[in-house]
């Protein structure tokens, strides 16, 4: 069978990476986004966000970039997308609805509605967005009704498990590929699309629609639960005088538990885990299964409590009153190696301190522009040293490598008071204490 032509609809974190990866796997790819600015950037081989390795991959394949394979092009025309593609990946966002737990399906619905009238010949639409279970069945009917090709316009659900910061690697070498399909044609086409990663060892798991949708939300819920479990242990350590870092290491050596995702700190954020557990609870409620997921409410509140605890620790560190105190915040993004500040615990803590009257100065290696856009009233410094200059206390809130390499002795010279709080448990307390810093961390003894 000839190589299927691929389109990618929605060119954000997920779609831009997926489009570049598909071109890398050898396919002809056409990408569409409704934001013209994004298309303009991509056409020049510029990534719409910071993601290690993505720009290199784009420059390797975007048509018009010198020396590229030319396999990756972009358009804003739905008609062109319909005419071009055999397989259409839908990668649009499903954010949390304002003031509700449920996720907002309007971008997915509108992408499907825009695409369907242009499906004039047999085509496979593949949903990759994280959606409430039951969405695929609803959308399959909607597409078949609106597509001129009728039942020949099929739908599959193929959840994505990439992590920001590792998106390129996770897309090219996924630890599993899950496809929710209704028939053999969809499965065959997707086996063709993913032939290279499967040949290199990625398991290919075929499921029905609801199972495929649930694999994604349950995986993210499990990861969130693991983080909140260790953060709950941090709370107990704080009360009992234990050390959560040692505890995590010790329990993690048990293979059944595993060491990953047991790093205690200010908790999880980003565009996925927080909104996914909430949307999952909302959907379970609609299905009459809310009791099954009631523990996720606790997972969510442990997570939010850790941010509050960081604010309290800061208040204590500056002597009880935040008003007018100078606070250096190292890190703004929700995790390192990303410029994403969506639901960032670091920025949330910085914002709370600012609202309580502290003078907050933030530094982040990649997240400054995004942080400024959503929190323009915070102070921003160009370097970590500038942020720390004159500070009454320093908060380490996103674990960039750059912060691990800071020289505590040099920083002690510029801070007003050498007092640091580690909200990520990745700094070495001994190193900072040796340079005369008062070092405190969530879930760890004071000295």
Residue 43 corresponds to which tokens in the numbers above?
Answer: 């056409």
Name the one residue in this structure whose structure tokens are 């039942």: 151
Q: Show the site string, 79-118: x = touches ligand UGA by CB under 6 A, - = not.
A: ----------------------------------------
Asked if 263 is part of the footprint of ligand UGA (rule: CB under 6 A), the reply reads yes
Interface positions, 158-197, toward ligand UGA (CB under 6 A)? 160-164
In 22-137, DSSP assigns E strands to: 29-32, 72-75, 87-90, 123-127
Give the CA distances from residue 285 to residues 86, 132, 158, 281, in Å, rounded to whole numbers and listed in that order.
Answer: 37, 11, 24, 6
Contact window for ligand UGA (CB under 6 A) among 35-43, 50-58, 104-112, 219-227:
219-227
Compute the least distance from the CB of residue 77 to ligand UGA, in Å: 28
Tell me if 186 sits within 8 A of 208, measured CB to CB: no
Annotated catalytic residue, options 91, 103, 237, 272? 272
Tell me if 118 sits within 8 A of 77, measured CB to CB: no
Compute the least distance from the CB of residue 5 to ligand UGA, in Å: 26
From 127, 174, 197, 270, residue interacting with ligand UGA (rule: CB under 6 A): 270
From 129, 220, 348, 417, residue interacting with ligand UGA (rule: CB under 6 A): 220
Question: Given the complex with ligand UGA, which of 82 and 270 has the nearer CB atom?
Answer: 270
Which residues have CB under 8 Å from 106's CB, separation 6+? none
Compute the least distance from the CB of residue 15 to ligand UGA, in Å: 12
Which residues have CB under 8 Å from 407's CB, separation 6+? none
Compute the least distance from the CB of residue 41 to ligand UGA, in Å: 21
Rounded distance between C-alpha atoms, residue 327 and residue 36, angstroms? 39
Which residues have CB under 8 Å from 265's CB, separation 6+? 231, 234, 306, 345, 422, 423, 424, 425, 442
Asked if 274 is part of the footprint of ligand UGA (rule: CB under 6 A), the reply reads no
Question: Given the complex with ligand UGA, which of 60 and 259 has the nearer CB atom?
Answer: 259
272 included as an active-site residue: yes
Residue 352 corresponds to which tokens in the numbers above?
Answer: 């709370």
Tell me if 92 sits within 8 A of 120, measured CB to CB: no
Asked if 339 is part of the footprint of ligand UGA (rule: CB under 6 A), the reply reads no
Give the residue numbers annotated as catalytic, written as ranges: 272
List of residues contacting ligand UGA (CB under 6 A): 130, 160-164, 220, 223, 227, 261-263, 265, 267-270, 272-273, 334-335
């Amino acid at each position: 069978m000839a190589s299927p032509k691929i389109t990618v609809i929605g060119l954000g974190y997920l779609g831009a990476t997926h489009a570049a990866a598909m071109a890398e796997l050898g396919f002809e790819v056409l990408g569409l986004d409704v934001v013209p600015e994004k298309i303009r950037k991509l056409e020049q081989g510029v990534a719409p966000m910071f993601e290690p390795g993505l720009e290199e991959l784009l420059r390797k394949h975007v048509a018009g970039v010198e020396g590229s394979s030319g396999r990756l092009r972009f358009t804003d025309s739905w008609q062109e997308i319909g005419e071009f593609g055999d397989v259409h990946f839908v990668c649009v966002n499903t954010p949390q609805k304002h003031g509700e737990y449920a996720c907002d399906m309007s971008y997915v619905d509108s992408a499907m509605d825009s695409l369907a009238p242009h499906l004039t010949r047999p085509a496979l639409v593949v949903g990759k967005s994280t959606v409430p279970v039951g969405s695929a069945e609803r959308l399959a009917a909607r597409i078949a009704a609106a597509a001129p090709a009728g039942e020949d316009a099929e739908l599959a659900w193929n959840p994505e498990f990439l992590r920001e910061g590792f998106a390129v690697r996770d897309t090219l070498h996924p630890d599993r590929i899950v496809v929710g399909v209704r028939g053999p044609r969809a499965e065959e086409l997707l086996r063709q699309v993913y032939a290279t990663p499967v040949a290199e060892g990625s398991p290919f798991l075929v499921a029905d629609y609801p199972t495929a949708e649930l694999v994604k939300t349950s995986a993210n819920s499990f990861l969130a639960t693991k983080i909140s479990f260790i953060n709950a242990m941090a709370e107990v350590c704080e009360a009992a005088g234990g050390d959560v870092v040692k505890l995590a290491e010790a329990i993690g050596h048990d293979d059944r538990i595993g060491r990953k995702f047991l790093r205690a700190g200010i908790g999880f954020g980003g565009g996925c885990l927080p909104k996914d557990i909430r949307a999952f609870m909302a959907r379970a409620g609609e299905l009459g299964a809310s009791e099954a997921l009631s523990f996720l409410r606790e997972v969510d509140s442990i997570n939010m409590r850790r941010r509050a605890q960081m604010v309290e620790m800061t208040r204590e560190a500056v002597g009880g009153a935040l008003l007018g105190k100078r606070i250096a915040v190292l890190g703004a993004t929700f995790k390192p190696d990303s410029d994403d500040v969506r639901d960032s615990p670091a920025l949330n803590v910085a914002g709370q301190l600012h609202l309580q009257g502290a003078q907050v100065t933030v530094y982040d290696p990649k997240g400054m522009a995004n942080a400024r856009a959503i929190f323009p009233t915070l102070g921003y410094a160009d370097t970590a040293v500038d942020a720390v200059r004159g500070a009454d206390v320093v908060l380490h809130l996103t674990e960039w490598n750059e912060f691990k390499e800071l020289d505590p002795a040099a920083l002690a010279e510029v801070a007003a008071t050498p007092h640091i709080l580690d909200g990520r448990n990745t700094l070495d307390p001994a190193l900072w204490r040796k340079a005369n810093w008062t070092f405190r961390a969530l879930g760890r003894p004071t000295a």
